[in-house]
Amino acid sequence: MVLKVFFPSCCSSADSGILIGRWISEQNSVVVLAVVHFPFIPVQVKQYLGEVQRVTKVSVSVLGSWSNSKQEKEESLSEFLEDLGTIFCHEPWIQISKEGDSKFWSCSILQKHSKNPQEEEIILVYYDQRKVMLSHLHPPLDTAGQRAEDASKLSAIFGTVARSQVLFMTDRYNEGPIKLTHWQSDGVEASIIVELLKQASVPACMLLTFLLSLLSGICKSRVLKFWPLSFLWSKLSTCEQLGHRLQHLQVISSSKKAQNQNQLMRKANIFVSLLIDVALGILLMSWLYRKNRIGHLADTLIPVADHVAEELQDLLQWLMGAPAGLKMNRALDQVLGRFFLYHIHLWISYIHLLSPFIEMILWYVGLSACLGLTVALCILSDIIALLTFHIYCFYVYGARLYCLKIYGLSSLWRLFRGKKWNVLRQRVDSCSYDLDQLFIGTLLFTILLFLLPTTALYYLVFTLLRLLVVIVQGLIHLLVDLIDSLPLYSLILRLCRSYRLAAGVKFRVLEQQDGKPLRLLMQINPLSYGGVIQTYRLPTYSCYPRDSWASLCKKLFLGELIYPWKHKGDKQN
Amino acid sequence: MAEERRFLSASGVPIALRRRQHSASCRELAVRGPRLQLRSLSAATSAVWLAAYGLFALSENSMVLSAAIFITLIGLIIYLHFVKIDQESLLVIGSLGIQVTSSYASGKESTTFIEMGHVKDVVINEAIHMQKVIYYLCILLQDPEDPQGVSEVVPLFQSSKPRLDCLIEVYKSCQEILEQRKTAPQSS
């Protein structure tokens, strides 16, 4: 049987004393937490350990003796240390001794009630106490994607050190009866700034909660729930993003303390993400308002809208002629083309009506960029949607016309073959038609069939334009989602204090000497950046894509309207 | 005590296996591949720069040359840091676990430690790789629900791909230590 002793590297130069820590019998390993120095009174030591056990729920006990003799080994000392074993009866009693400055220590085990008196091999594993205490072990994901929460051996060791924090609070300047050596025994460290921030955060949180409750009260008021306004709010992505950020603020300002590591990291991630977002937004705002760039932007907006409308008019003239050499049905072509041209004319008139107010509107809307870069990007996406509204309208007209035509064609094709769609049974049945029904049906079928290329071409052109706009909007939303969900605090932690996020441990074999126990150094193996992002990603409010490619193509072919981006709150069609 | 032996990899390049026994229950096995040759490095660099110079002669744009230098530097750094594996080692510590380390040419080391409780066995498996059938050593991980099942297979020495003779040596060394945990009384 192999006995593993986890020894903190900070205690390597401690004076002689007794070892306290935890004995994990299932793994046959010993975790040494501190060294208690002479002189001490055994009763007081036991009392102290009892208190520590009560507070931390970790079964801390006296494990053995540690002797660090600067000169040669004294025989009387070794007998004294063995006698200690009888006072603190612990099974097994471990004796570690270090001579002078030698790296190679000798360990021995005293077993009084051992069943099989064989020589146990001892492995000495050094660990950095402070890093192990602060680190959080992430067990690997198993195939189901769930984190295995079973008792991994390493997590027992990490848990023991992490929960014994109260043991490390007494340092050598304390006037108590017990003198300990551990990683903090040279003096407990704390940062004034951190303490001040902790004190200041309580009233700040309360103020924030009050303001947020006011704000959410206003948002939920009946005034804003009337039909045109509520429809508008649901369509504008800016409102969704603002609602999302409001939720985040509520999470941060809640006065409940975080229960576990995950909640703490989530709060910290949201806080840092909001901070960076607002900082970037203010940067953007200062860039826009310097040298009156926003005025220039507003000035170029109308000419750009005009240019787009002119390009559309040219496109329609091209379609009304002989596009790509195809021969269109003259009458239908003229009707559709004139209809769309009139639409564009209306649109240009509206834009020109608005042109004196555009600069002012844009100036005030640009101010809202101080709420965050994500809000600014959402506003940009909404402006694009508003400016290309006529393309959306054309797409809807073209799609509806095409859809009607396809349905008409399919139904008349069934009539042509003598069949009918049975709505009750949801299948195609044969049916006997009258002669005049057949005659008119075939006539209509022929008309629709020969008018199909014209309608199909208009539908194709406007669908492509609409898809272009959708792709641009989609890219902007992707960027917004990226900023929303990136766990910046965790990434910075991984960069600067990589031992806090541990994926596991790694062992390094130190110099060995025959006859002495095996010496290993346990270091923390940090989580990879991909693992950090996967574990600590913040949830967002949208998920795409809504349709698979196959169903998207089917919808396009049939002329059904497509809405590629789905939001979590939407009901399924 | 350390000993080193030369073998061939599956693709024919010479590799070296180094075995070190640190204690009765701790062994380290390292497979070292060939180092980066100066010949191949200079050949690649000269090819890229000749192509860049040819483009420059055609287009008279000096950005091509600076772009070529930039690409060469970045490509070299990426290759050394992410692609070229110098040494793959296996550290078997009875009753603690198995540690698999890959060291890259730039000095980066990527380590995975598998606890002994999760290890079911270490076996040699056959696989079809491109147009060849090769042998590889792998660690079978225990399925927590099913004591007879295997939840995951972790292949070892993937970039050096030693042949069967080398794998048998590694296999024997590992099994000697793994057997100790069967003879020792169960400690779950």
The CA–CA distances, whole Å, from A36 to A41, A170, A181, A184, B118 equal 11, 12, 7, 14, 36
Q: Which residue of A has its CA nearest to B110?
A: A525
Number of CB atoms found within 10 A of residue A271's CB: 16
Contact between B91 and A507 using a beta-carbon 8 Å cutoff:
yes
Alpha-carbon torsion (A108, A112, A114, A116), positive or negative: positive
Is there a contact between B22 and A509 if contact means CB atoms under 8 Å apart?
A: yes
- Out of A1, A4, A142, whose CB is closest to B96? A4
Q: Is A27 an 8 Å CB contact of chain B?
A: yes
- Hey, are the CB atoms on A2 and B94 less than 8 Å from each other? yes
Interface test with A, best of B21, B23, B93, B98 (most A CBs within 10 A): B23
Strand, coil or helix: what is A37?
A: strand
Q: How many CB pairs under 8 A join A and B?
A: 64
For residues B43 and A350, what is the distance between their CA atoms, to the nearest angstrom?
Answer: 66
* Pairing between β-strand A566-567 and β-strand A427-430 as defined by DSSP bridges: unpaired
What's the gap in Å between the CA of B112 and the closest CA on chain A?
A: 7
Given an 8 Å threshold on Cβ–Cβ distance, is B91 in contact with A4?
Answer: no
Mutate: best of B27, B96, B153, partner A, most A CBs <10 A: B96
Domain ranges of chain A: 3-184
Q: Is A152 on the interface with B (CB under 8 A)?
A: yes
The answer to whether A319 and A398 are in contact (CB under 8 A) is no
**Cβ contacts of A488 within 8 Å, gap of 6 or more:** A269, A272, A273, A276
Q: B80 in helix, strand or coil?
A: helix
CB contact under 8 A, A509 and B115: no
The minimal CB distance from A148 to the residues B23, B96, B144 is found for B144
Beta bridge partners of A526: A502
The predicted pLDDT at position A212 comes to 87
Q: How far apart are the C-alpha atoms of A82 and A18, rounded to whole Å? A: 11
Token digits of residue A511: 């110099």
Q: Quick one: closest CA in B to A6, which residue?
A: B96
Q: What is the C-alpha separation between B4 and B2, in angstroms, rounded?
A: 7
B26 and A121 in contact by Cβ < 8 A? no
In this complex, is the C-beta atom of A155 within 8 Å of any C-beta atom belonging to chain B?
A: no
Record: contact A150-B99, CB cut-off 8 A: no
Q: Collect all residues with Cβ–Cβ distance below 8 Å to A522 and sequence separation of at least 6.
A: A6, A125, A126, A127, A505, A506, A507
Three-class secondary structure assignment of A272-324: HHHHHHHHHHHHHHHHHHHHHHHHHHHHHHHHHHHHHHHHHHHHHHHHHCCHH
DSSP A144: T
Q: Do A2 and B22 touch (CB under 8 A)?
A: no
- Segment A143-183, tens digit of pLDDT: 444 445 455 778 888 888 888 888 888 777 777 777 888 88
Identify the burial level of A520 via C-beta atoms within 10 angstroms of its C-beta, where 0-12 means exposed, 13-18 middle and 19 or more buried. Answer: buried
Identify all chain A residues contacting B93, using CB atoms and an 8 Å cutoff: 123, 507, 518, 520
The candidate with the shortest Cα–Cα distance to A158, out of A491, A529, A500, is A500
Q: At what angle do helices A435-485 and A389-417 cross, to 10 degrees?
A: 140
Going by their DSSP bridges, the two strands A136-137 and A501-509 should be labelled as: parallel
DSSP per-residue codes, A378-445: HHHHHHHHHHTHHHHHHHHHHHHHHHHHHHHHHHHHHHHHTEEEETTTTEEEE-PPPHHHHHHHHHHH
Structure tokens at B114: 């598998």
Segments of chain A with pLDDT less than 50: 143-147, 149, 569-573
Amino acid B100: pLDDT = 95
ipTM: 0.85
Are the beta carbons of B94 and A142 separated by less than 8 Å?
no
> Residue A420's beta-bridge partner residues?
A429
Residue by residue, DSSP assigns A455-516 as HHHHHHHHHHHHHHHHHHHHHHHHHHHHHHH--HHHHHHHHH-GGGEEEEEEEEE----TTS
- Work out the end-to-end distance of chain A between its first and last CA atoms, rounded to an integer number of angstroms: 65
Longest alpha-carbon distance in chain A: 124
In this complex, do B184 and A1 lie within 8 Å of one another by their Cβ atoms? yes
Place of tokens 């590297």: A9
Nearest to B163 by CA among B8, B4, B5, B30: B8
Q: Determine the Cα angle at A197 with ends A192 and A202, to 5°.
A: 140
Residues A361-372 pLDDT 10s:
888 888 888 888
User: Contacts of residue B101 in chain A, CB cutoff 8 Å?
Assistant: 506
Q: Torsion-angle region of residue B112: left (phi > 0), alpha (psi -120 to 50) or beta? A: beta
Give the pLDDT confidence of B66-120 residue by residue, as tens digits: 999 999 999 999 999 999 999 999 999 988 899 999 999 999 999 999 988 889 9
> For residue A153, which residues of chain B lie inside 8 Å, CB to CB?
115, 117
CATH number of A3-184: 3.40.140
Interface check for A28 against chain B (CB to CB < 8 A): the answer is yes
Rounded Cα–Cα distance for residues B98 and B28 (Å):
10
Is residue B157 a contact partner of residue B31, using CB atoms and an 8 Å limit? yes
The per-residue pLDDT for B167 is 94
Task: Report the alpha-carbon distance of residue A62 to residue A296 in Å, rounded.
Answer: 77
- Closest CA in chain A for residue B27: A509
Query: Which chain B residue shows the shortest CA-CA distance from A503?
Result: B112
Cross-chain residue pair A512–B23, CB shorter than 8 Å: yes
CA distance A524 to A503: 8
Among left, alpha and beta (phi > 0; psi -120 to 50; other), residue A172 is: alpha
User: What is the model's pTM?
Assistant: 0.83
Residues of B in contact with A2 (CB under 8 A): 25, 94-95, 184
Residues of A (488-547) whose Cβ lies below 8 Å from B: 504-507, 509, 512, 518, 520, 525
Nearest to A4 among B28, B95, B113 (CB): B95
In chain B, residues with a C-beta closer than 8 Å to the C-beta of A507 are: 91, 93, 96, 99, 113
Predicted confidence at residue B36, as pLDDT, reads 85
Q: Is A114 on the interface with B (CB under 8 A)?
A: no
Instruction: Please report the domains of chain B, with CATH numbers, ordered by start residue.
Output: 2-36+84-183 (2.30.29)
How far apart, in whole angstroms, are the C-alpha atoms of residue B166 and residue A279? 58
